[in-house]
């Protein structure tokens, strides 16, 4: 295993109504707030290999690069450590009648998580063990990022 772990770039995509892509993974419905940890089934997320780690969020969120997202292949093929970055995308919908607070935690070296705000600007949060303490967002000690999703909204 190489000395450096993969740099995971997680792309959380915006509200379905503002996104022109039609090959997005299905929405994971948040139906109650008693869940401690969610392990997303492979059907609810997609990945994209960025061989040189140079793509931007704008490049991967629109064609032609955005059309190359696919289902998880690492279980079958393993992780290719020559790939500099992986992009991952998934969607959450809060089906409850009150806001949902979620926290996303990964045990990797670098994680940049993007979400789109109501006027379609990308918002970035960074965390993980390879990110300097002062540059981490949200819960720094456990390298976790938090989001609040209003009732009926999709993230």
Q: Checking DSSP bridges between strand 92-94 and strand 28-30, what pairing results, if any?
A: parallel
**What does residue 151 show for φ and ψ, rounded to 5 degrees?**
-55, 130
CB 86 within 8 A of CB 8: yes
Bridge partners, residue 70, by sequence = 47
CB 16 within 8 A of CB 23: no
Higher pLDDT, 148 or 130: 148
**Residue 102: DSSP 8-state:** E
- For 103-143, how does the pLDDT look when each residue is reduced to its tens digit (9 = 90+)? 777 667 777 889 988 888 998 887 776 766 677 776 666 66
> What's the half-sphere exposure (Cβ side, CA atoms, 13 Å) at 116?
21
Q: Is 30 left (phi over 0), alpha (psi -120 to 50) or beta?
A: beta
Query: Looking at the predicted structure, is the pLDDT value of residue 18 above 50?
Result: no
**Residue 9 confidence (pLDDT):** 29
Mean pLDDT of the chain: 79
CB 25 within 8 A of CB 88: no
**Residue 30 confidence (pLDDT):** 92
Measured between alpha carbons, how far is 13 from 141 in angstroms, rounded to an integer? 26
Q: Is the peptide bond before 64 cis (omega within 30 degrees of 0)?
A: yes
Measured between alpha carbons, how far is 41 from 154 in angstroms, rounded to an integer? 18
Higher pLDDT, 31 or 141: 31
**Residue 126 confidence (pLDDT):** 77
Q: Which two tokens stand for residue 136?
A: 């981490």
**Residue 14 confidence (pLDDT):** 32
Query: Looking at the predicted structure, is the pLDDT value of residue 17 above 60?
Result: no
Query: Looking at the predicted structure, is the pLDDT value of residue 11 above 80?
Result: no
**Residue 133 confidence (pLDDT):** 66
- For 50-83, how does the pLDDT look when each residue is reduced to its tens digit (9 = 90+)? 999 999 999 999 999 999 999 998 888 888 989 9
């Amino acid at each position: 295993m190489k000395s450096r772990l993969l740099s995971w770039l997680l792309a959380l995509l915006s509200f379905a109504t503002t996104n022109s892509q039609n090959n997005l993974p299905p929405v994971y419905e948040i139906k109650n707030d008693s869940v401690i940890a969610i392990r997303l089934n492979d059907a609810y997320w997609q990945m994209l290999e960025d061989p040189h780690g140079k793509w931007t969020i704008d490049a991967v969120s629109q064609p032609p690069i955005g059309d190359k997202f696919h289902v998880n292949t690492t279980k079958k093929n393993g992780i290719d450590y020559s790939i500099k970055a992986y992009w991952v995308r998934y969607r959450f919908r809060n089906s409850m009648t009150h806001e949902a607070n979620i926290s996303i935690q990964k045990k990797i070296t670098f994680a940049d998580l993007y979400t789109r705000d109501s006027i379609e600007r990308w918002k970035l949060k960074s965390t993980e063990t390879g990110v300097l303490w002062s540059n981490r967002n949200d819960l720094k000690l456990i390298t976790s990022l938090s989001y609040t999703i209003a009732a009926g909204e999709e993230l």
